[in-house]
Amino acid sequence: MVKMQNVHDKFFKETMGDVSTAKDFLTHYLPNNIMKIVDVNTLEPQKDSYINKKLEENFSDLLFKVEINKKEGYLYFLFEHKSYEDKGIAFQLLKYMVEIWEAKMKKEKAKELPIIIPLVIHHGRSSWRIPSNLGAMLDGYEELSEELKIHVPNFEYLLYDLTIYDDEDIKGNALTRIWMTLYRDIYTKDPNELLQSIFRSIHYLIELEDKQTGLEYFETMMRYIFSAAKDITKKDVEKIIQRLETTYPEGSDIAMTLAEMWRDEGVQQGLQQGLQQGLQQGLEKGGASALSETAIQLLIERFGKVPQDIKDGIANSDTAALKLLLVNSFKFQEIDEARRYIQ
């Protein structure tokens, strides 16, 4: 199975990046006072992302242009998928909104800036317990009089904490209910609870009239589950396939194919762990002879056959070169890449 930099990010963008799904979510979950001024029929996804490299493991974002009060505006989704709460999320949002405004000023020479409504979607191992406004981060803000507060920046973001949603709270079309259900339950410690969520999601797919759309999304859904649910077992997969054969038979072939890929990946992970143990043992022994022996063995495990000139080069390399070779060997795509590290 293809390695993902962040499986939560990929699933979020493949799902909510679809305009019809984003529109469906907003229709069911925007507060009425905001829904009255936002024309979701004008929703238009933007390509820009404002998450920097340091934060992309914990956050994903999507930006949509939309009419707000019949003028150009934006909805900015920040999807938070950390295992702990971030008290600085309002500050992060402020920076991203400023970047959007700066881009409007520089690229389009805009004289008036658009309204941006920030939305935060949280799924994690615990519910959200921090205030959803910038003022809460400012020491002494709440003690200020209303006359003074107007001089201090403050805003509140819309928060959707999926961890507290019951089944009856999850509304919308099939795809909306599937991603919300799976995000809510993917961290559960109860394997049976996750299985029930998967079965429920399979049942939702039946509602889709377009079977091709259903099959495509089913594959997206199963790739996410196999990648993100660390404790899923072979027996669980067999139950999923069995349920598919009776509930959504169109997806059974895809599920079996993905299950094989998932099992193969598990074997590869086991091999990788074995190689890392060999690397550690070689480094602990420390001597050039032990390191060269370990390096050759690792390359044989990875590529099957190692040319004699590479073996000779490894045998004649010093300790420093061999350690570099060992550390970088997991990155090699071809055996010839080893030549860069040997004498």
**DSSP notation for 64-118:** EEEEETTEEEEEEEEEE--SS--TTHHHHHHHHHHHHHHHHHHHH--SSPPEEEE
Q: What is the mean pLDDT of residues 100-116?
A: 90
Per residue in 132-160, pLDDT (tens digit) is 999 999 999 999 999 999 999 999 999 99
- The residue with greater pLDDT, 145 or 337, is 145
The whole-angstrom distance between residue 247's C-alpha and the CA centroid of its chain comes to: 28
Bridge partners of residue 65, in order along the sequence: 44, 74
When pLDDT is cut at 50, 70 and 90, the band that residue 180 belongs to is very high
Domains of the chain, by residue range, sit at 1-164, 171-274, 286-341
Q: What is the mean pLDDT of residues 308-327?
A: 82
Run of H or E residues at 255: helix 252-285
- The residue with greater pLDDT, 288 or 286, is 288
Q: What is the pLDDT of residue 261?
A: 61
Run of H or E residues at 262: helix 252-285
Q: What is the pLDDT of residue 55?
A: 61
Which segment of 63-72, 188-197, 290-299 scores lowest on mean pLDDT? 290-299
Q: What is the pLDDT of residue 119?
A: 95
Nearest residue to 182 via CA among 123, 241, 254: 123
3-state secondary structure (DSSP) of residue 326: helix
Q: What is the pLDDT of residue 56?
A: 60
- Return phi, psi of residue 125, to 5°: -85, -10
Q: What is the pLDDT of residue 258?
A: 67
pLDDT at 93 over 80: yes
When pLDDT is cut at 50, 70 and 90, the band that residue 111 belongs to is confident
| HEC-encoded secondary structure of 184-204 | HHCCCCCHHHHHHHHHHHHHH
Q: What is the pLDDT of residue 53?
A: 62
Per residue in 193-229, pLDDT (tens digit) is 889 998 998 889 888 888 778 778 888 888 888 778 7
Q: What is the pLDDT of residue 115?
A: 96
- The residue with greater pLDDT, 152 or 321, is 152
